[in-house]
Structure 1
Amino acid sequence: MALQINATNPEHPALLLELPWHLPLEEWPEEYLVPLPRGISRHVVRYARAGDEVIAVKELAQRPALREYELLRDLDRIGIPAVDPLAVVTGRTDPAGEQLESVLVTRHLGGSMPYRSMFETTLRPATMHRLMDALAVLLVRLHLAGFAWGDCSLSNTLFRRDAGAYAAYLVDAETGDLHPELSVGQREYDLDLARVNISGELLDLEASGALHPSVDPIEFGTEICARYQGLWQELTRTSVYPAGKYHYIERRIRRLNDLGFDVAEMQIEHASNGDTVIFVPKVVDAGHHQRQLLRLTGLDAEENQARRLLNDLESWMATQDDYAPGDPLGARPEVLAHRWVREVFRPTVRSVPPELRGPMDAAEIYHELLEHRWYLSERAQQDIGLGTAVEDYIRNILPKARTTLRPADD
């Protein structure tokens, strides 16, 4: 059987032909390899260079190699965070004519790290919680797409920090299976495997002295189940909001925030019987909201202020007719963000008399107004609007606040 390279890109076979496919992967010379940290795998895996690409090469039998290649292509088509499949190489033989195992080739995920490399310096528990959150997000997204992983673990995941965000990527789809929809039993099986695998991996780290002494491996394995269940419920329950009750949307965002997740994307679908909302969550690092708000609007705010303002901006953008994420004809987020500053943020802040503002800056004033609108809307069980909230805030809240803040000798 002659050497065959099935590739997603016509340019890849020519680049891949330069690699020593006649040698078992364990015997590849150093000149072909790239020294990057590797996770634990049941197969031989090496990083190599093919032209300008850094690739991951995994040796396995032909049938599972072709199957995993197709599964990864399916996941790529539906937008699931996973490694990018490039090719499958079959028909390999050594110089004596003996058959060698086939190879799956994927693109190296830039900036990513296997979990063991991240634990080379003892991770703080807070960082570990965020990594577990990222893995919970990945598992929920896979299940929403109908993908049963079959072997969810830290070893089969790559983690990447990108502009303050933590993201988890599937790196091994060998045991997976794609369905139109998963049953409760299929999801629970995946989740139980995740719990057992993660606890085992952390126990292994504990034995090697690489785990923070305050971390309980069993509790952390159980934690992903709780994070998954809360996120699954909040993301999958059907909600149709009556017209004018946008504070219900804010309530959903707050619940996601309470779970430790932020809204990366929100889509509002208008229907005759109300508005349906779809959320996409992500896990973020400290200072992420400050950087994002500054990038989008030019506003410099504290982290909690920025988080609140970004939630309001996201809600407002989703109601604009020219907002179409992913549509090149739609308005760019930066354009809409500056429109929000010009048409919503600045007029609202300026409506508060300067003599009543005291030491509060513009971001804090707007944050306070949003909180007051939320309180009034919850009490009235309908969205009372920002204008009404401003009037009530100026009339009933600010005078009392000024009295409280006034110095004793004033």
Structure 2
Amino acid sequence: MPLQIRATDAEHPSALLDLAWGLPLAEWPEESLVALPRGISRHVVRFARAGDEVVAVKEVGEWAADREYALLRDLDRLAVPAVDAIAVVTGRVAADGTPLEPALITRHLDGSLPYRSMFETTMRPGTVNRLLDALAVLLVRLHLVGFAWGDCSLSNTLFRRDAGAYAAYLVDAETGQLQQQLSTGQREYDIELARVNIAGELMDLEAGGSLHPSVDPVTFAEAICSRYTDLWHELTRESVYPVSKRHYIDRRIRRLNDLGFDVAEMQIQRSPAGDTVTFLPKVVDAGHHQRQLLRLTGLDTEENQARSLLNDLEQWMATQDDYAPGDALGARPEVLAHRWVRDVFRPTVRAVPRELRGSIDPAQLYHELLEHRWYMSERAQGDVGLDAAVKSYITEVLPHRTPDPTPNPS
């Protein structure tokens, strides 16, 4: 059987042919590889450069590779945070004719880190909490679309900075199942697996001296269950309101929006007596602020970054002479938003020298500048402006900012 690369999402699929498919992945030459931190995996995984892309290559059986490839493509279609599947490679043969295991290729998630790299320096309890919050949100998002993970853990997740929090991405779908809807038992099984896996991973870090003394592995692992339960309840509970208080429905929708979720479909029912209304969000989509910012500006960011940038955008729009919401003569929000990107966002990001900002992506950088401006303005008891914040950020913050454990490979 000849070498076959089934690719649907590679930017330059022909570049995949240049990789050392005639060698076992563990023996690939250094010149083919990219030095990036890897998480723990039951399979051999390596990062390589294919044209302009950095890809993760995992050796796995053909059936498992095809299955995981299809699941990752489904999750992409459902807009769930997961690594992008690029290709499945089969028909690999060594120089002596020995068959080699097929490979699954995924795109490296720019700016992301496995949890072990994040614990290279002892992580504070508050940061551990933010990681678990991100993982709980990811698990809820998976369950909302009917995906049972089957192996939720820190090891199977990548984390990216998202304003003051983190965003979690699924990196291993090998044990997953996608269904129309999950039962309570299936969801509880996933949560219990997450609790056991996370406790074990934190105990491993504790044994290696990489865990803060105040972090108890069992307590922190159990906390993800309560985080998940609280979020799931808020997103899916049925509410009954007096008919005179039906504006509470709008308030509930706004609260869901604040959590970063859109109510794409809902069920509202009046009681036979006509004195109450029942509200049930039937389909809840994640990424409310993300989609709003993308629609207005074309900027594709994480959810918390989008919330921060939207707040700044709205404040800036209110200062423009042609800002007149609801007035046909006023500029459309999309026009003002693109002006903000051109005149405010891009010049501000470019004012920070590229060699100083390193792997900080533009949206995260702008958010940090906004935060720094706020702190400076609080101290000065008045708005100091972005220009002053940028100058101060470059001289006072960047030199002391803890860098990511690895540089951005791109």
TM above 0.5, yes or no, is yes
Indicate which of 271, 280, 287 corresponds to 2:286.
280
The corresponding residue for 2:224 is 224
**Deviation of 1:213 (Å):** 0.6
Give the aligned residue type for 1:140: V
1:293 aligned onto 2:299: no
Return the offset for 1:263: 2.4
The residue aligned with 2:399 is none
Distance in 1 between the 2:192 and 2:266 partners?
37
TM-score (norm. length: structure 2) = 0.67
Give yes or no for contact 1:164–1:285 (8 Å, CA) kept in 2: no
Question: What secondary structure does 1:298 align onto?
Answer: helix
Given the superposition, is the C-alpha separation of residues 231 and 11 from structure 1 closer, same or farther in structure 2, using an over 3 Å criterion?
Answer: closer
Q: Decide which structure has the larger Cα Rg and report it.
A: 1
**After the TM superposition, which residues 40-79 of structure 1 pair with which residues of structure 2 at under 5 Å, given as runs?**
40-79=40-79
CA RMSD of aligned residues (A): 3.6
SS class of match (1:219) = helix
- Residue aligned with 2:180, SS: coil
Q: Which has the higher contact order (CA 8 A, sep 6+)?
A: 2
Letter aligned with residue 25 of structure 2? L
Shift in CA distance, 210/240, structure 1 to aligned 2, threshold 3 Å: same
Alignment partners' CA distance in 2, 1:268 and 1:64: 34
Distance 1:29 1:194, change over 3 A: same
Go from structure 1 to structure 2 and tell me whether the alpha carbon gap of 1:166 and 1:295 turns closer, same or farther (over 3 Å shift): farther
Cα 1:248–1:55, aligned 2, differ >3 Å: closer, same or farther?
Answer: same
CA displacement, residues 318-347 of structure 1 (integer Å, 9 cap, x when unaligned): xx9x9xxxxxxx9649669x9xxxxxxxxx
Shift in Å at residue 293 of structure 1?
A: 1.6
Instruction: Tell whether the 8 Å contact from 1:37 to 1:117 is kept in structure 2 after alignment.
Output: yes
- Residues 1:231 and 1:104: Cα distance change in structure 2 (over 3 Å): same
Q: Describe the shift of the 1:104–1:243 C-alpha distance in structure 2 as closer, same or farther (beyond 3 A).
A: farther
- Residue aligned with 1:122, SS: coil
Change over 3 Å in CA distance of 1:75–1:94 after alignment to 2:
same
Distance 1:299 1:202, change over 3 A: farther
2:251 is the alignment partner of 1:250: yes
Q: Is the 1:263–1:281 contact (alpha carbons within 8 Å) kept by the matching residues of 2?
A: no
**Per-residue deviation, 1:13:** 3.3
Deviation of 1:266 (Å): 3.4
Match in the other structure for 1:82: 82
Q: For 1:286 and 1:146, locate their aligned partners in 2 and report how far apart those are by CA, in whole Å.
A: 24
Q: Say if 2:122 is the partner of 1:126.
A: no
TM-score normalized with structure 1 length? 0.67
Aligned positions of 1:1-400 closer than 5 A? 1-9=1-9, 12-239=12-239, 245-250=246-251, 262-267=258-263, 278=284, 280=286, 292-298=310-316, 332=334
Cα 1:89–1:288 shift into 2, 3 Å? closer
Closer, same or farther: CA 286–15 of 1 in aligned 2, 3 Å: closer
Q: Secondary structure at the match of 1:57?
A: strand
CA distance in structure 1 between the partners assigned to 2:199 and 2:178 by the alignment: 26
- In structure 2, distance between residues paired with 1:163 and 1:190: 28
Deviation at 1:215, TM superposition (A): 0.4
Quick one: distance in 1 between partners of 2:305 and 2:142? 28
User: How many Å separate the matches in 1 of 2:382 and 2:240?
Assistant: 36
| Deviates further, 98-107 or 155-164 | 155-164
User: Would you say how many aligned residue pairs link Structure 1 and Structure 2?
Assistant: 309
Q: 1:85-142, CA deviations, whole angstroms, 9 ceiling, x for partnerless residues? A: 0000001010000000000000000010000000111111111111101100100111
Cα 1:52/1:335, change in 2 over 3 Å: closer
With over 3 angstroms needed to count, the CA separation of the structure-2 counterparts of 1:2 and 1:264, relative to structure 1, is same
Q: Distance in 2 between matches of 1:5 and 1:143?
A: 32
| Long gaps (5+) in structure 1 | 301-316, 323-329, 339-359, 363-410
The 1:334–1:149 alpha-carbon spacing in structure 2 relative to 1, beyond 3 Å, is: farther
SS at match of 1:14: helix
User: Sequence identity of aligned pairs in percent?
Assistant: 59
Q: How far does the alpha carbon of each residue in 1:343-385 deviate from its partner, in whole angstroms, 9 at most, with x for none? A: xxxxxxxxxxxxxxxxx999xxxxxxxxxxxxxxxxxxxxxxx
Unaligned runs of 5+ in 2: 270-276, 290-301, 319-324, 341-380, 384-410
Structure 2 distance, partners of 1:95, 1:228, is 50
Counterpart Cα distance in 2 of 1:290 and 1:84: 26
Deviation for aligned residue 1:288: 8.6
